[in-house]
Amino acid sequence: MRILSKKYLRVLLYLALAISGLFWYRRLTMYAHPVDDAKDQDTKKQLAKTWLQTNNLEHWSGSKIFVVNVGRKKCYHVGKLLERCFIEYEMAPHTAKHAERKLISKDLRGSYGFNWFGVSEYVFYDTLSIESLSSTDEEVYSQLVAVHSISNKKTLNAFEWIDNVFVEAVRILPNLSIDNYIISNLDILFGEDCVDPRPGWQLNKSWSFSKGRFPSFLSYKYLDHTEKEDYTKQLQIRRDGKLKIVQLADLHFSVGKGECEDEFPASDNCEADPKTLRFIEGILDIEEPDLVVFTGDQIMGQRCVQDSTSALLKVLAPVIERKIPWALIWGNHDHEGSLDRWKLSEFTAALPYSLFSMSARDTNDNSFGVGNYILQLQGSTEEKATITLYFFDSHSYSRSGKIYPGYDWIKEAQWEYMRERYDNEYSKHIAKDAHLSMAFFHIPIPEYLSFQSKKNPNEQNPKVGTFKEGVTAPKYNSGGIFTLDYLGVDATSCGHDHCNDYCILDDSSSRKIWLCFGGGSGEGGYAGYGGTERRIRIYEFDTKERAIYTWKRLNGSLKEKFDYQPIVSGGVPNFE
């Protein structure tokens, strides 16, 4: 006999969960370091300056941080729904009231996100800014320690942090004045092929930090007094009026080396990410582009549940190491790993040579997307812009599946936003008689299916390249082709369909627009359809001739161009 109805049982369950959540929230936050808001910021800066001078540290910036504590958390989780954690160890708890705790949200054991029930483990560290030392009692900061080294070798004064991982700490003073002696930042990367191209970061792969689902390795930065180098690089048109873009579509990188899918031609012992990286590096060295555009599905989210950044840093390493400016848009798989679209975007925007940006209207709820932006370039002698590039987030899967099943689309609000920015800002700077423009997105718009001419129904629209698989454009048409026409876009390029690499000259709007596929580049994504070799598309703008040219290269024959075609001549999209 049931004592309580299902309705009351649910109420009791929700109440118990709420009380439990409140209890653990109070438990975890009761030791949080208080924030001192009493002093005015200007006063703080002046105190910091005086303190630095007194301690012969005037060459340091007060905003520099250093690690004063490390620790680990052990957690029990139920899927991704519930995770309860407790601090298992920390080197120097409550070192200073101004310390900021940073949790590296990457499960060392590789259980969270993979198992329904399990034990997860995380590391955290506390940082202190040099500026905050000025408001710390001398008796306190004279006893403070900072992390000097982390290794698998035990020394006399080392603490054991994780099994067979030892931390050595030193007094902050006088060691603070020594460059590259005190650690300022920490990260964990996964997979035997992981890399860290971020300037100043040192990835130590001589020993494994932890052996979970994938081996993990410690990456760290040392404190130094030099000002942060400017790793932005202005995108410029060459003196000869040209700009070359390499498009990298559907790389599908993983944590670890990844598995090859539909490799063609087949080989023994194929490793997806290393093979794709060799292809990318070969193309970059041959073409020497001015800009690289990643058009979505850089990483295969389901294979990055443990850590999306480990896979993404592998993708971006070739361009960062070559100091090539790069832009990026997201696909339908990037956000399926450990980081959502918003966190991926924040991480990406801060990387060296990144031109990626988040607009004021961007959202993380799929209503507007993340990464809708414009790049405008002018030549060395021109006052007006001669090239404009548009980037759109095409989202992932339709939220109106019963009415419009399949993939999502660029929203009307996004198209309208670009029109507004064009009218209010960018159109004023365009050289009307010498301007070229392209747009990039991941999922093709419906007009990629416009094989039949709209203006001449008995004719086929010109097409160059391979049409091998069904075009997976959304079922709903948000009218983007008319906005592209309004913006003066000459050509678009997308990814998503790995085995299509054609360009088609669409005549749906008042002016013709070339709609191109990049073609799949990564061995970690599907291919098939009778055998499809990975390929990379290149675009070259010539602002003096008002022309755009495009061609492709195959993984197995890097030195040979194919499907070379001028898609714009004299400022007009046409077919020759």
Give the per-residue pLDDT at 33: 44
Question: Residue 64 has which token pair?
Answer: 């520099």
**199 contacts 221 by C-beta, under 8 angstroms:** no
Q: CB count, 10 Å around CB of 206?
A: 7
CATH topology agreement for domains 44-222 and 242-573: no
Pairing outcome for strands 291-295 and 326-329: parallel
Indicate the Cα dihedral angle 23, 25, 26, 30, nearest 10°: 150
Separation of alpha carbons 217 and 209, rounded Å: 5
DSSP-derived secondary structure letter, 28: H
Q: CB count, 10 Å around CB of 11?
A: 12
Give the per-residue pLDDT at 5: 67
The domain over range 44-222 is classified in CATH as 2.100.10: yes
| Coil, strand or helix at 557 | strand
Separation of alpha carbons 158 and 155, rounded Å: 5
Q: CB count, 10 Å around CB of 7?
A: 8
Separation of alpha carbons 24 and 146, rounded Å: 30
Pairing outcome for strands 436-440 and 463-464: unpaired
**306 contacts 226 by C-beta, under 8 angstroms:** no
Locus of tokens 């755009």: 548
Separation of alpha carbons 275 and 280, rounded Å: 9
pTM value? 0.90
Element at 553 (helix H, strand E)? strand 547-554
Q: Which amino acid is at 222?
A: Y
Nearest to 526 by CA among 474, 467, 471, 469: 469
Question: Residue 164 has which token pair?
Answer: 């067979």
Separation of alpha carbons 123 and 75, rounded Å: 11
265: number of CA atoms within 13 Å, CB side?
2
Residue by residue, DSSP assigns 308-371 as HHHHHHHHHHHHHHTT--EEEE--SSGGGSSS-HHHHHHHHHTSTTB-----TT--SSSSS-S-
Nearest to 252 by CA among 325, 191, 303, 182: 303
DSSP-derived secondary structure letter, 449: G
**487 contacts 509 by C-beta, under 8 angstroms:** no
Separation of alpha carbons 455 and 438, rounded Å: 23
Q: Which residues neighbour 559 within 8 Å (Cβ) at sequence distance 6 or greater?
A: 286, 553
Q: Which amino acid is at 135?
A: S
According to DSSP H, which parts of 496-552 are helical? none
Question: Residue 34 has which token pair?
Answer: 């208080």
Angle between helices 412-424 and 480-487 (to 10 degrees): 10
SS (H, E, C) 59-79: CCCCCCEEEEEEEEEEEEEEC
Can you give the residue ranges of every domain in the chain?
Answer: 44-222, 242-573
Separation of alpha carbons 352 and 464, rounded Å: 36
**135 contacts 39 by C-beta, under 8 angstroms:** yes
Locus of tokens 């929203």: 411
Length of the chain: 576
Residue 349 main-chain phi, psi, to 5 deg: -65, -25
Angle between helices 272-287 and 308-321 (to 10 degrees): 20
∠ CA 249-253-258, nearest 5°, is 135
Question: Residue 270 has which token pair?
Answer: 């194929």
Separation of alpha carbons 133 and 142, rounded Å: 10
Pairing outcome for strands 491-494 and 436-440: parallel
Q: Which CATH superfamily is domain 242-573 in?
A: Metallo-dependent phosphatases (3.60.21.10)
Q: Which amino acid is at 501?
A: D
Average pLDDT of adjacent 10-residue blocks, the chain of 576 residues? 60 63 50 47 73 77 88 94 92 76 94 93 92 74 85 86 88 80 95 96 90 91 76 84 97 97 94 98 98 97 95 98 97 96 96 95 88 91 89 95 94 97 94 92 98 93 96 97 97 98 95 97 94 97 96 96 96 84
Give the per-residue pLDDT at 212: 83
Pairing outcome for strands 291-295 and 242-248: parallel
Please give the distance of CA 465 from its chain centroid, rounded to a whole number.
30
**516 contacts 537 by C-beta, under 8 angstroms:** yes
150: number of CA atoms within 13 Å, CB side?
33
